[in-house]
Structure 1
Amino acid sequence: MESLVCYSRTCCICFEEITKVVELFPCHHSNICASCTCQLEKNICPTCRQEVDLVGVNFDLRGTNCEGSDSLSHPTTFIPLTFIQEYRRQTIRRLVASTFQVYFVGSSGIPLSNVASQIFETFAVELDPKLDLKERKHHFEVQRRRTFEDDSTQQSRNNNEANSLEYLLEAFFDMNECTWEYSANAFVKGSLIRFKCFAFWEFLRILRSTEVSDGILPDLIVTCVDLCNEKCFQETIEMQEIMTEIYERHKRKLYNVWLHIRGPQYKKKQTEKRLERVFESMPQVVWPCITLVVPKSLSTRDSTNLVDIIVRRCIKSRQRLFSDEISGT
């Protein structure tokens, strides 16, 4: 097969400069960067829509910038695209296995980000991997080059084809873009947690995406609700039923905490009666695990109690998931 040719210096998906050339086969398009290649959901070329079987990569890690050269003289390795996609899935699974995924969801009118930040600001070391993504990518790239150069002789003696292939994939493909949304952005009571906030309409799209092989269901969902807002309240009930159905479809138990953000018109007895009427109208199987009432401005005590509940529920969710996987249910 012909050597890799850099037809374009700009990726057709992310529009970043291509520094690592890949070529899709059999269509021979190479106007896509390595990072976007490993994120392809379908085996389809983004340029011509032709089915892709193989990806040609060049492992000259000392520098594969397109500028000043029409082709790369170093040997090209051809890897099935399905192998790259499976490597991405395994990388995500390994990361998720060590990090609790906690989602704050609610109607568009609820200040989800404010609620989440109040809860975690006292107890979490917030690390937003999106902010320093370029810096981290550079650091990991340097580490990959050193590892590749130091261990190249040893790897050449390795007869295990699977291990060698994974080593090459790790050396060439940057998985930071694929995994940053699952990386921990908080460290709470000895646990790594990735917490994110979504309006209901956005979270519904995420739930539907769990039908694909990369889909990840969160360990715990914190549903923020305003009982004084009828529209918000009805949306919360509808969303609860949808979440329950999807978790059951994946043979998972839904761990969900309802968080009523009480406003200035909050009255305890009225709230309790409202919740009783709601639960009477809902099937018991879709009830939230816990219902809490907290002020819009959380005290240290409120935050402490809620964080304790979140961590305990996440642990319980993982124990249940592990038990189900062992039993095969």
Structure 2
Amino acid sequence: MAPNSPLSDPSPVVLVTGASSGVGLAAAFELARRGHRLALLARGEEPLQRAAEECRALGAGDVMVSTTDIRDDEAVRQAVDDVLGRFGRLDGVVNCAGVVAYGRLEELAAPLFDAVVETILLGSVNLLRHVLPPLRAQGRGSVVLTGSLIGHIAVPTMSAYTVSKWGVRGLARQALVENRDVPELHVSYVTLPGVDTPIYRQGAYAGGPAGQPPPVVWPPEKAGRLLARVLEHPRPETHGGAFDPLTRLGFVLLPRVYDAWVGPLFARFASDRHETMPPGPGNVEASVPEGNRLTGGHGSGLGAVVGLAVRQVRRIVG
């Protein structure tokens, strides 16, 4: 083997999906800083190339890109084959591909609902279908599926996203059970709270208030660090977000209270009442490259929480 061949390089090879924007881009940046060799997958060629250039500048050992729609099983198979052909192996996978559609269940057109499910849930299935065989063959590897707090609860106007994230949670557990016979092959599920990414303005809308991440909002870099940490130190399930356990607990133990309050709270903290989005497909069915970037400009969301608390105190003492 040549000293500088891909097979002789000890740097881990990691495949990242959704790598051109938001959490996927943040995960790619963090893995690049750690010197990993990267295969970046997303639908848009130009944003992927930009991401690859930045990853190289941050210290990635080598970077390849693959313009791949994760909904296309054959395209995913070809992408994984290309990664193995380029690097000779695959050590880790971080799946971040995702899109969102806003609207009541009966308001969303079937193609939009289906495209969200196909991207988040069936796309995760496509990915596992093609990365698990080489990982099993080499007897080791680490796969991280990115979930959400919404995969444990229900929220209004996000039916397709909610159903998809619930499905990813079940898929992660299923994959973990089916691969217990390979002790060094790990499948991890990571939930994220609201993250400041462009997904909210890129989403499809049936019409209505613009979506926004609920407080307390994580910067994408924090989400990227968590995913990289779990990839390198796998755990079956990891939950991000300090207040998320309380939300999940309320959903399970106090369903009537939760159901009564989730609508008003969602409208107050997870919707931008100052911006109305017209009906449209957003980037759900096809990439919209000009919207791809690291952050969404939403901030931490703490101002909304503090403002509400101040108004409540004034009502009490006034």
By the TM > 0.5 criterion, same fold?
no
Instruction: Give the helix-richer structure, 1 or 2.
Output: 2
TM-score by length of 2: 0.37
Q: Which has the higher contact order (CA 8 A, sep 6+)?
A: 2
TM-score by length of 1: 0.36
When Rg is computed on C-alpha atoms for both structures, the one with the higher figure is 1
